Amino acid sequence: MKLSAGTQVQHEDFGFGTVQQVVGDIAVVQFYGEDFEVAIGELRTNEEFQGRTAVNRHKQNERKVAFRRAFEAINMGIVPPEPVELIELTMGGGKYSEKINLWLSEAEKKGLCKVIFGNYGTGKSHFLHLARAIALEAGWVVSYLEFDPKAADPAKPHLVYRSLMSNLHFPEREDGSRIDGYMGFVREIRNSWLKIRDLPHFKSSPWFKNGFEALITEPHSDEQEYLDACGWLFGQNNALQTIRRIAKYARLAPRAIPNMPKIKETAEIYVHHLV
């Protein structure tokens, strides 16, 4: 690629700039009023990026903002919120990625229950956030919560389940979109109902199977009754009568939709929900 002074170029990290001079394989380019020396191979000319859409530029700006946000989070001593930046800015992030991805790939055969031990300040929370980020990048649905005597008491599995479901995060699709919250999850199941209704785990759950068979008879909307009924699937126990009423409207057996139990001996039921 031949460059000369005045040529408009683009750099993946710095964005758009103007060539000031060229010395061998190095170009001095002005970005945002400052001169930088960059390898010519890292630059694209106007003709090469002319066809790029505003969406791609928007994506690049998003990455820059995400990096700045992550960098500031580290300065403040907190975990970076963006998964990709968290992995990249973690010392040994690549090694941990390989280890955690191995766990994920073996989950079906070996299970995926891990307990992290360590003294105060040794990075336990950071590692859990890192595992969450790597799983999200690998296409897993993730949730993060901290046990709390009121909101998520470990002795009350229905509260833990409710908190997990309230904090669901979904991986990004190939087109850049993602499911938003549990109502987005409900919409996704409705859109793929013909495939999902025959899945073994789904068919074996009287909660999800019978609950969705009732919900599917109603339009996906912001009507309060429908929202309350959806909330029952995610641990809002006071909505049981609402979803049973919808089942009755649809001429289904209301009593076929069971209660969400509240005693600790029923924790396996909620584990089955999550699976």
- The more confidently predicted of residues 65 and 167 is 167
Give CA angle at 201 (197, 203), nearest 5°: 40
pTM of the model: 0.65
Per DSSP, the residues of 186-232 read HHHHHHTHHHHTT-HHHHT-HHHHHHHHHHTTS-SS--HHHHHHHHH
| CA gap 93, 111 in Å, rounded | 23
Q: Is the model more confident about 70 or about 144?
A: 144
Strands in the chain per DSSP E: 8-11, 15-23, 26-31, 34-39, 43-45, 142-143, 168-169
Query: Looking at beta carbons, which pairs linking 88-91 to residues 24 or more positions away fall under 8 Å?
Result: 90/126, 90/130
Q: What integer is the mean pLDDT of 223-239?
A: 86
Q: Report the chain's terminal Cα–Cα distance, integer Å.
A: 54
Integer Cα distance of 182 and 167 in angstroms: 8
Least confident of 5-9, 50-54, 146-150: 50-54
Average pLDDT, the chain: 81
* Residue ranges covered by each domain of the chain: 8-49, 54-140, 141-275
Maximal C-alpha separation, the chain:
79
CA torsion 255→257→263→267, rounded to 10°? 150
Q: 39-43, 77-81, 102-106 — which one is most confidently predicted on average?
A: 102-106
